[in-house]
Amino acid sequence: MEKARLRKLGLTNLKWLYEHPLLKKQKEQAISQALFNDPYWKKAKTIAITKPLDFEFDTHILLDKGLLEEKQVLMPITGSDRQLTFHSVTSETKFEKTAFGVAEPVAAPVVAAEKIDLLVVPGIVFTHEGFRIGFGGGFYDRFLQNYHGETCSLVFSEQIQENWQPESFDLPVKRLFIS
C-alpha cells in the first residue's frame, strides 16, 4: 500500500481513537508507564517531544513528568529550510500555532541536537520494526539522518500497519512503546 493511503488510514484510526477518550486515555497511561519504567527514560537527562494535535498521543504527561524529574524537556520548531531545531521548554513557555496547526515554543532557547538523550519521534503509521510514516513533511526523516542518540515512539496498536515497504531514506526508531 502506498504511503499516502496508509497515512490516510492511520489518521482515520487515530481520529477513531480520539472519539473514544476513555480508551485513548487508558492506552496513553499504559504506554507512559512502560516508558517511565524503561532505561531509555530513566537514563535520559534531556528529552525531546512534540506538542500533540488533539488526536495524537498526549505528550503533556511526558512534559509534566520530565519537569518533575528535573529533566530538560525540548520541543521542536520547524524552520523555513524544512529542518527541526529543538528548544528548551518549561511549564511557563508560551506556544504559537504554525500553519500546520502544530503548537511550537516561542522565544525558547535552542539546544544542540547532540545534547538530546532521548528523542520521542511522532508518527501516524508504524511497523513493529520501528519504521514510521509521519505527516509527509520529512522533518523527522531529515533530523534522524544525523541524530545518534536514543529514539522511541509512543504508539497506539491502531497505528501498526505491516503491509508497506520502507523507502531507502526511512530510518526506524530504536524502540516502540505500544498499547
Give the CATH class of 3-178. Answer: alpha beta
If you count DSSP H runs as helices and E runs as strands, how many of each does the chain have, helices first? 5, 11
Confirm or deny that 61 is annotated as ligand binding.
Answer: no
C-alpha cell at 153: 515512539
Q: Is 2 assigned a ligand-binding role in the annotation?
A: no
User: 175: annotated binding-site residue?
Assistant: no
Report how far residue 15's alpha carbon sits from residue 78's, in angstroms, rounded to the nearest whole number: 24
Residue with cell string 477513531: 16
φ, ψ of residue 166 to 5 degrees: the values are -60, 150
Q: Which residues contact 60 (CB under 8 A, 6 or more apart)?
A: 52
pTM of structure: 0.95
Task: Establish whether 133 is an annotated binding residue.
Answer: yes
- Is position 66 annotated in a ligand binding site? no
130 has binding-site annotation: no
According to the model, what pLDDT value does residue 68 have? 97
- Does the annotation place 178 within a ligand binding site? no
Instruction: Find cell 500553519 and name the residue.
Output: 99
The 10s digit of each residue's pLDDT in 122-161 is 999 999 999 999 988 889 999 999 999 999 999 999 999 9
Do the annotations mark residue 140 as ligand-binding? yes
Q: pLDDT tens for residues 13-58?
A: 999 999 999 999 999 999 999 999 999 999 999 999 999 999 999 9
